[in-house]
Amino acid sequence: MKKKLTTVAFSGTEEQEKKLCELIEQHKDEKGALMPVLQGAQAIYGYLPIEVQKEIALRMGVPLSEVYGVASFYSQFILNPKGEHAINVCLGTACYVKGSGQIMEKLESLLGIKGGEITKDRKFSLDATRCIGACGLAPVLTVNEEVYGRLTPDMLEGILKKYN
Amino acid sequence: MIKNLADLAEIRERMQGKITFRRHNPGTTVTDGKIRKHVLICGGTGCTSSKSVQIKEKMEKCLVDAGIADEIQVVQTGCFGLCALGPIMIVYPEGTFYSRIHVDDVEEIVKEHLVGGNPVKRLLYAETVKGDEILSLNETAFYKKQHRVALRNCGVINPECIQEYIGTGGYLALGKVLTEMKPQEVIDIISASGLRGRGGGGFPTGRKWQFAAAQPAGKKYVVCNADEGDPGAFMDRSVLEGDPHAVLEAMAIAGYAIGADEGYIYVRAEYPIAVHRLQIAIAQARDEGLLGKDIFGTGFNFDIQLRLGAGAFVCGEETALLTSIEGHRGEPRPRPPFPAVKGLFGKPTIINNVETYANVCQIILNGADWFASMGTEKSKGTKVFALGGKITNTGLVEIPMGTTLREVVEEIGGGVPNGKKFKAAQTGGPSGGCIPASKFDIAIDYDNLIANGSMMGSGGLIVMDEDTCMVDLAKFFLEFTVDESCGKCAPCRIGMVRLLELLEKITSGNGEMEDLDKLEELANYIKSASLCGLGQTAPNPVLSTLANFRDEYIAHIKDKRCPAGVCKKLLTYNIDPDKCKGCTMCARKCPASAISGQVKTPHVIDHTKCIKCGACIETCKFGAIYKK
């Protein structure tokens, strides 16, 4: 799957940077340390923003192209942060004909972001997903693990409020 | 700290009494101080997902409440194998087999069985209850035909306790090798045993070791491939979760045989329990001096590092795996040079899979002849399979090579459920093929499976019944390999996409007969021109279904019909007017408003609106809706 670069401004803390330096230091003399370092960095930041990749490239003396190449090759590495509440709108066929397209549009305008993005306060991320098998409830969205079905666009504000 | 063989023997003798009766050898008694029973609870991935950890905690609390905490030992083990019945609990020395237990059942088991001495019959695996008599698990159809070599300690010992492993004879093989044998003798015994690689290709293990040993002395590596990526396969995971030390010990033996002092285990990050237990095992082995410098005081040094994969199927291919350990994109490299000559960081390397290593110590201890006495002429020993799909006893089984597919599916696996008919078994995952019902009696070994258009692979065995569409199945595997192709070579990167497009054309009803020839031609090009094992085997699901189920392809093309009723675009949903009561339920459920009709009169489905989601069939209480 193609990975989309994030548009979210990087907001790493000094504490995170300190941890990252320690991590790199720890793996300094290890052969082939890039993967364990990226795995550790993702554990620190929750994802791998380009700023972190640059930092890793610089400190490890590896070209950024290679760091990015590895980060984008493996499905486990995430280049885009997820929100505190991850919203997934089903765009499977059954949901789509019942208007999940409009649900997606309305959410995009309510949150001020596009699908695949995250709000500035990192509270919500919005993604489209394949069929989740709840066609009887179409159109459906999930927030974290919670499923909301038989949606109409005017219900969305109320759902978002529950998480604010 | 274990400094020599005498130290090892001391631990073994102290632990032995605690372990032997867990194998349920008749006549063995508990010799473990005040302890009179052991309660084994499965801590494998399957049972953990169904709350076995909470069951263990509840059990420990109930034992304290009942005042018998010092008489009963609770042990968390690896996988017992019969995952369909999880969570599983076994009480020794009697070997009582509790299945599908719930946290709320624990109190009753403690009160009735562990205090009162009467097993709770309603919670026992049904097959073990014969009137008043209660059979042990070894007497059930699932276990009777199995022969456990690689899995011998899984479900027997606590994998997080090195002493228990030593109690089963653990690290004795390493001790024997280091103190009594020359490296060449080790290779000779592995060669003579006939052990072949359990990860897929079936290359003779001894020969692989010989190649690496023949390289000039210097830095060499031993690698364990634990990047088990086939969807539906969990053999290696279970070995690592249930008996991690067996793999560490075998890697050290391999290191001695080829002259390496460093090993890497490349394990999937998606296996958190396996990773955790490996970390514990490596730390314990280092503490005891069984990994590190001067092992058993012989001057032999060997240490192991753990490397986590990051979700790429291609990294199961040996050269891609090595590239990934080196910290790069997991792309394969051309062979030769083979890893035995130029492998990890450019040094001679042997790379074996988890299950292969799990056999090594037993071969050293019991001899090449013992191992070679099991199996068929060219495939020696046993093989672990992960049974899945349309089969009653989903789980992990280990059988001698040469067991027939019928025995595995019908006897050990309990057959196809719901009265459906066996249609085919898929082995080898996305690289393998399907064995149709007409070949149900073939003996399972490396060469027989290849001769029948499939392959052993790492040991996934997915059973399919008449409801499985073989064209759709081939498409499923192709979607997987297209997604996982690393993109380095064109035949795989481009060819597989074209192959998938042809299958999509056929399953959506637009296929032409000449597409079948195109499929075959392209599939063979991809097989012969791809760089690595992924591309070379990825067309196999297409070729094997074409060979064995060509009539299904033809039905999709000529009759525009999917015989199994799977391919959505070729289906129509219809309402039987004789059965429909006009309850309007389906019309209300239909997400596309495709169903119309008056109350109490038969409804109809508008095929132009129907999106074939199946919601109506699930809703109808009268069985009036059918697909054709």
Closest chain A C-alpha to B326 CA, distance in angstroms: 4
Radius of gyration of chain A (CA): 19
B136 shares a domain with B177: no
**Of B410, B395, B469, the residue nearest B440 (C-alpha):** B410
**Mean pLDDT, rounded, for B340-368:** 97
Give the pLDDT score at B28: 64
- Asked if residue B414 belongs to a domain, the reply is yes
Give Cβ neighbours of residue A105 (< 8 Å, ≥ 6 apart). Answer: none
More confident of the two residues A133 and B459:
B459
Helical (H) or strand (E) element with B77: strand B72-77
Per the prediction, chain B carries an average pLDDT of 92
Regarding whether B584 and B529 lie in a shared domain, the answer is no
Residue B585 confidence class, pLDDT cut points 50, 70, 90: very high
CB pairs under 8 A between A and B: 72
Phi (first) and psi of residue A64, to 5 degrees: -60, -35
Q: Percent of chain B having pLDDT more than 70?
A: 98
How confident is the model over B280-299, as a mean pLDDT? 97
Task: Looking at the structure, tell me whether residues B432 and B548 fall in a common domain.
Answer: no
pLDDT at A2 over 60: no
Q: Output the pLDDT for position B184.
A: 98
Q: Where are the alpha helices (DSSP H) in B485-539?
A: 490, 496-507, 513-529, 533-537
Query: Which tokens in the block code for residue A22?
Result: 């320690």
Flag if B269 and A39 touch (Cβ within 8 Å).
yes
Overall average pLDDT of the B426-439 stretch: 91
Whether the Cβ atoms of residue A63 and residue B328 lie closer than 8 Å to each other: no
What's residue A40's pLDDT? 95
Q: Could you report the per-residue pLDDT of B317-345, keeping only the tens digit for each? A: 999 999 999 999 999 999 999 999 999 99
Residue B220 near residue B211, CB atoms below 8 Å: no
Return d(Cα B278, Cα B251) in angstroms, integer. 13
Q: Which two tokens stand for residue B507?
A: 């399953």
A161 φ/ψ angles, rounded to the nearest 5 degrees: -60, -35
Residues 6+ apart with CB under 8 A from B159: B43, B77, B78, B153, B165, B241, B242, B243, B244, B245, B277, B281
Most B CBs within 10 Å: which of A37, A74, A78, A130, as the mutation test of the B interface?
A74
Cα–Cα dist B565/B228, whole Å: 32
Tell me how far the alpha carbon of residue B391 is from its chain's centroid: 15
Question: Residue A131 has what pLDDT?
Answer: 67
Residues B115 and B33 in one domain: yes
> Is B607 part of any domain?
yes
Domain containing residue B299: CATH number: 3.40.50.11540
Q: How far is A66 from chain B (nearest CA, A)?
A: 8
- Where a domain ends, among B106, B140, B174? B140
Contact: A77, B486; criterion CB under 8 Å: no
Domain membership flag for residue B251: yes
Closest in A1, A33, A136 to B327, CB measured: A33
Does B308 sit within 8 Å of A73, measured CB to CB? no
Boundaries of every domain in chain A: 14-73, 85-161
Structure tokens at B406: 């019928």
**B278 and B413: one domain?**
no
Look over chain A and give the mean of its residue pLDDT values, rounded to a whole number.
87
Q: Give dist(CA B305, CA B285) in Å, integer.
A: 12
Q: What is the pLDDT of residue A93?
A: 67
What was the pLDDT predicted at B257?
98
A1 pLDDT above the threshold of 60? no
Q: Say what the pLDDT of residue A91 is.
A: 80
Check residue B407 and give its pLDDT. Answer: 95
Query: Could you read off the pLDDT of B54-109 as tens digits, one per residue?
Result: 999 999 999 999 999 999 999 999 999 888 888 999 998 888 999 999 999 999 99
- Are the CB atoms for A20 and A58 separated by under 8 Å? no
Range of the structural domain that residue B81 is part of = 5-140
Task: Give me B324's structure tokens.
Answer: 């990934």
**Listed residues B558, B583, B610: the one ending a domain:** B558
If one compares B228 and B328, the residue with the highest pLDDT of the two is B328
Whether B224 and B308 map to the same domain: the answer is yes
Report the CATH number at residue B603: 3.30.70.20
| Span B162-204, pLDDT tens digits | 999 999 999 999 999 999 999 999 999 999 999 999 987 899 9
Asked if the Cβ–Cβ distance from B615 to A135 is below 8 Å, we say: yes
| Dihedral of alpha carbons B170, B171, B177, B183, sign | positive
Does the pLDDT of residue B48 top 60, yes or no? yes
Q: Which residues contact B474 (CB under 8 A, 6 or more apart)?
A: B503, B541, B542, B545
Structure tokens given for B128: 């073990």
In chain B, the number of structural domains is 5
Indicate whether B215 and B275 sit together in one domain: yes
Identify the band that residue B617 occupies on the pLDDT scale cut at 50, 70 and 90. confident
**DSSP-assigned letters across all residues of B549-566:** -HHHHHHHHHS---TTS-
Tell the burial category of B520 from Cβ atoms under 10 Å away from its Cβ (0-12, 13-18, 19+).
middle
What ipTM was reported for this prediction?
0.83
B4-32 pLDDT, tens digit per residue, is 999 999 999 999 878 888 876 666 666 67
**Spatial separation of the C-alpha atoms in residues B473 and B483, rounded to whole Å:** 16
B226 and B306 part of one domain: yes
Q: For tokens 């509790």, name the residue.
A: B98
What are the residue ranges of helices labelled H in B373-422?
405-406
| CATH number of this structure's domain A85-161 | 3.40.30.10
Could you tell me what percent of chain B has a pLDDT over 90?
74
Domain match, B284 and B424 both: no
Structure tokens, A149: 């079905």
CATH code for the domain in which residue B526 is found:
1.20.1440.230
In a domain, B25, yes or no: yes
Last residue of a domain, one of B532, B558, B584: B558
- Does residue B483 belong to any structural domain of this protein? yes
Residue B150 domain-assigned? no
pLDDT at B47: 84
Q: Do B312 and B273 have their domain in common?
A: yes
Tens digits of per-residue pLDDT, A70-106? Answer: 999 998 888 888 888 989 998 876 677 778 888 999 9
Q: Which two tokens stand for residue B382?
A: 């046993």
Q: Residue A87: helix, strand or coil by DSSP? A: strand
My answer on whether B361 and B230 are in the same domain is yes
> Is A71 in CB contact (< 8 Å) with chain B?
no
Instruction: Record the pTM.
Output: 0.89
Q: Does the residue B567 lie in any domain?
A: no
Cβ pair B310:A35 closer than 8 A: yes
Of the candidate CATH numbers 1.10.10, 3.10.620, 2.40.50, 1.10.287, the domain formed by A14-73 belongs to: 1.10.10
In this structure, the answer to whether residues B327 and B210 fall within a common structural domain is yes
